[in-house]
Chains A and B, each alone.
Chain A
Amino acid sequence: MDKQKLLQMYYEMVLIRRVEERGAELYQAGKIGGFMHLYIGQEAVSTGLIAAREPRDRVITAYRDHGVAINCGISANEVMAELLGKVTGMSKGKGGSMHMASVEKNMWGGHAIVGGHLPIASGLALGDQYQGNDNVTICMFGDGATNIGYFHEALNVSMAWNLRVLWVCENNQYGMGTAVERASAVSEIRQKAEGYGMKNGRVDGMDVLAVYAAAREAIDYVRRESKPYLLEAVTYRFRGHSMGDPERYRTQEEVKKWQDNDPIGIFRAALLKKKNITAAELDEIEARAEADTQKAVEFAEASPEPGMEELFRDVYVE
C-alpha cells in the first residue's frame, strides 16, 4: 500500500477516536440524546475494510456507525452535527447517532433493528445484479446479530441468488451483556457460513493491515465469483455497549487486557517500522485529527436546529 493511503487510514482511525471521545463528553453534557454506541476499540475493522473497497462498492452497517460513516468519507462536521441533532447533519438531525448515511458516499446507514439491515443488504446487491454491474455490497453487523432470523434469511438468499455481498461480522465478544458463547451455538461466527456452503474467513480485527488484506481478498472473490463471503473480524469495544452500561458482564482486567491491544497503537507501531514514515508525521496527523474534531464540534454547536417545517417533511416523496 502506498504511504499516502497508509497515512490516510491512520488519520481516519485517530479521527474516529477523537470524534467519539468528544461525543461522549457532549453526551454527558446533555447535548446528545438517545442511544449512542461508541466504536472505540473497533476502529481497525471498518478502516481496513472500507479502505479495501472501490467507491462503487456499497456499505451498510448497524447503529454503531460513526466510524463507518467517517471511513466512507462523511465529514466529521456532519457526523458531529447529526449527533447534536442539527439540520447540518447528514440526516438533518432527524436520524441521530444510529442513523448516519450518505447516498453520495454509497453509505446506506446506520440501522437500529439488530439484523434488520442484512436482508436490505441482499437487496442492494440484488439491485446491482439486476442492473448488470459487479458492485460489491459490504454489510457489517455484530456477533449478536448472527442469532436472529434476519441473518439466516439474508445469508441464504445471498448464496442461492449468487449475490455480491461481503458479510462482515464484527465479533466484539458481546451482544450488550451477553457473551458470544451464551447466545450462539458456535463460538466462531465464521462457522455459521458452513451451513450455507459459503466461503468464509476470520481475521484479527485489532490489526488494520490484516483486516485490509483479508478484505481485499474477500472483495476480489465476491466480485470475481459473484458469490457472497462471510468474514469474521475478532475485536473488542473498549467502552460500554452504549452510554450508561453498568458493565456487570465483564471484568476490568479483561477490558484492560484488550486496551493494551489498542488498534491505533498497533498501527502506529507498524507504521514506524516502515523506514519512510516518521513519528513526527504521525504526530502531525494526530494533531490534525484533534484540530478537525475541534472544528467539527464548533461547526455542530454553531449549526441551527432543524426548523418546524422539517417535522412534516420527507414522510412521503409525494
Chain B
Amino acid sequence: MKQNNIVPLDFEKPLFALSKQIIELESKTIHNGNKKTVENLKIQYENVKSEIYKNLSPIDKVKIARHPQRPYPLDYINLISPTWYELHGDRTGKDDYAIVGGLIEIDGQTIMAIGTQKGRNIKENQKRNFGMPSPEGYRKALRLFYHAEKFNFPVITFIDTPGAYPGLEAEAHNQSQAIAMNLRELAGLTVPVISVIIGEGGSGGALAVGVANRILMLENSVYSVISPEGCSAILWRTKDKAADAANALKITAQDLFELGIIDEIIPEVEGGAHYNPKETSQDLLISLKHHLQELSKLTPEEIKKDRQEKIRTIGKFLEV
C-alpha cells in the first residue's frame, strides 16, 4: 500500500487519497478498537485499485509509459547484466547521449545493448535531449550494430523515445538518412536482434533501433506511428483529442500483439514498472533469455532471413 514516493498519475489520485486515509486512520486507531473502518477502507482500496488498473485506457497507458519514474534502458541494463561497458560516439563529431550503447552479458554471452535514453531531471534531460536522438545517435547505433555483427554479439535494443529530434541541426545532418540507413542495415544483420519497447515507441525514431527478429513490449508501453497529440492536431485539428487519437491509433501492447506486430507482452507489476523495476526486469530477463536461446539455434543466414520475412509480411491490403 505504500507508494514509495511514486508520483501519482491523474487516474491514480483516488487510490493515493484512499491510501493516505488508511495510513492516517491506522496510526490513529492503534489504541482504540476502530479496526473495522480500516478493514473496510482496505477492501475498498483493493476494489478501486483493481478497477483502475483493469480498465486503463490507451491514453492512461501513454501516461504510464511516460511516467517520469519509469525505468529507462540504463536501469534495465543495470538490473539484468553484471557487466556494462558503454561505448561512445559516432566517430565523426558527436556523442549523442539520447542513445546509449555498449556491452552487457546474459548467461555468459556478450550482448550489444542499445537504448534510447531519457533523463531523470532537467539537467539530465538537457544532456539526453528528453530521449530524442539526433542523426549522430542513430549513426552511433549503426556503428555498434556493425560491431556486434563483427564479433557475433546478439543485439538487444531498449526503446523509449518520443521520437527522433525535430531540430535544425538534425535536419542539416540528415536525420532521414540516418534513420533509413539503420532500417536497411538492421534488416541485413546476421546476428539476432531483439527489441523491447519499454516506454514510448515514438515513430521512426523508435523504429530506427527496432527492426528485430523479436519485438517485445512491456505491458504498459505504447508504440505508434505518431504521438496521440500530434495525430490529434493534424486529424482532429485540435490538440485536445489526444485520448481519441490514442484509441484510434491502436498503440497499446495488446493492440500490437493482436495486429501481429509484436511477439510478446512482458507483464508489469500493477500500476506500472516504476512500482517495482526489479520484478519487471526479472520478467524481462527471463523472456530475453528465452528468445536468445531460440534464436541461437539459427544460422547467421537464417537469422537474417527470419527477420526479413517477419518484416515482409506486415501490412493489410486487399488484392483482387
A binds B: no
